[in-house]
Amino acid sequence: MNRPDFFELKNGSKVKLPFSKSEYQDRLDKIRKIISKNNLDMIILTSMHNIAYYTGFIYCSFGRSYGCIITEKKVVTISANIDASQPWRHSAYENIIYTDWKKDNFLKAIVSIVGKDKPPKTIGVENDHVTLEMKEKFISIFSFSKFSDISKELMKLRTIKSVEEIQIIKNGARIADLGAEEMVKHIKVGANELEIAITGRDKMELEIVKSYADAEYMDTWVWFQSGINTDGAHNPKTSRKLISGDILSLNAFPMISGYYTALERTLFLNKIDDASLKAWEANVKVHKRGLELIKPGAKCSEICHELNDLFAQLGYLQYRTFGYGHSFGVLSHFYGRESGLELREDIDTILEPNMVISMEPMIMIPEGKPGAGGYREHDILVINENGAENISKFPFGPEHNIVKN
C-alpha cells in the first residue's frame, strides 16, 4: 500500500466559527497589508494564538507541528493526521493533513502549498514562537529565500480588538463573575481548595454552553488558593483544607473559543488580623487608583511608575510581585498574549481605544512576617474614546470578601 505524505480530507461540513466571515476577512486583509508592506511572498504561522486568530482553528500540539500558510492568494492550515478533519471543519479556510509515516512530512505539506507558484523570495515567520530547529528546517527547504520576523507586527494588530472580539470578552468577564459567585457559596472551614475550584469551573463551563452553543469547550479552569499557597498567582490548587482566618485567592478563567478572560479576588475566611487588613487595604487602594489611570493616551510605563510611588508611600513596594496588568484576547495565559501591551516599567505602549487590559496589583508578604500571604485583585477594562469600561463586576475589598462560614 502506498501511503501518502499528506492529503486533503473534507469529512463533514464546516461548523459555525466564533466570528463572522467578514471578521476573518478583515483580519486577512490586515495581514496581507503586512505582506505587501514588507515585500513578503508568504507567511508561515506556527503559534496557536495566531493560527486561531486568523483561521478559527485551535490546535492541540502534543509534540506535533502545526502551521498556516498565507500568501496573496492562499490561506491553508496544516495539521497532523491524528486530528482527521476537525481542523478543516473549524477553519475559515482550507486545510492539508500531513501523515506521521515520515519525519518531515509537515515540511512536504508546506512545499505542496507553494506548488508551482513562483518560489518565495522572502518569508515571514514568528521569531517569538518558531523553534530554532524548525527555523533551520524552513531554511533547508527554502534555501533560496530570506526570512523576516513579523511577530511584533502581528502582535500589534491583535492588541486592537474588534466589536465582535469585545463582545466575546465581555461575556467571558460575565461568566468569570458567575464562577466566582459559585465558589464563594462553597467556602467554609474544612473544605479543600480542589472541591471549591471544581464548583466554579463547572458553573462557568455550563454557562459557556448556554451562551455559546456552537463553541469548542476547552481549557476553562480555576485556581483557588489558601494560606501559604496564595504566595504565587499561578500556584496550582491542592487538597489543603481551609481553616478559619485563612487568606484566600480566587482565580476564575473561562475560555470561549480561544478567548480567555480572568477574575482574581483576595478573600479571608471568617476573620482577619490587623496586619493582613492593612496589607489588603493597601493593595485595594493601588487597585482603585490603577483603574482610574486606564484611559486612552496613557503610557503603560507611566501608569506603572505612579502605582509604584503609591505602593512606596503605603510601605509595600518591596512586596510587589508582578506587572500591574496585561492584554486580554486570543489564548492568553498558557498560550501567549500581546506582551507589548503590559503595565510594566519597560513598556512604553500608549493605550488606545479598543485595547483590552487588566488591572491587577499583587503583593506577597513572606511567611513569618505580619500579614503574610499573597494579595491580588484583578479587573478587565475595555478602553474607549472617553476612558475605560470595567467589565469585571464581582466586588473587591475587605467590605465585601470576608466570608463568614
Active site residues: 234
Q: What share of the chain is helix, strand, coil (3-state, %, to 5)?
A: 35, 20, 40
Residue carrying the nine cell digits 493533513: 97
The 10 Å Cβ neighbour count of residue 209 is 11
Cell numbers of 247, please? 487568606
Q: Answer yes or no: are the C-beta atoms of 260 and 249 closer than 8 Å.
A: no
Surface-to-core class of residue 73, CB atoms within 10 Å of its CB (0-12 exposed, 13-18 middle, 19+ buried): exposed
CB-based contact 388:247 (threshold 8 Å):
no
Q: How far apart are CA 375 and CA 391, in angstroms?
A: 21
* Alpha helices per DSSP H over 186-249: 193-211
Cross-strand pairs, 365: 373
Whole-number CA gyration radius for the chain: 23
In the block, which residue shows the cell 487595604? 281
Q: What is the DSSP letter of 368?
A: T
CA torsion angle 9 10 14 18 (round to 10) = 0
Rounded to the nearest angstrom, the gap between the alpha carbon of residue 79 and the centroid of all alpha carbons in its chain is 22
Amino acid at 191: A
Amino acid in the structure at residue 158: R
Is the separation of the CB atoms in 78 and 96 below 8 Å? yes
Distance of CA 195 to the CA centre of its chain: 25
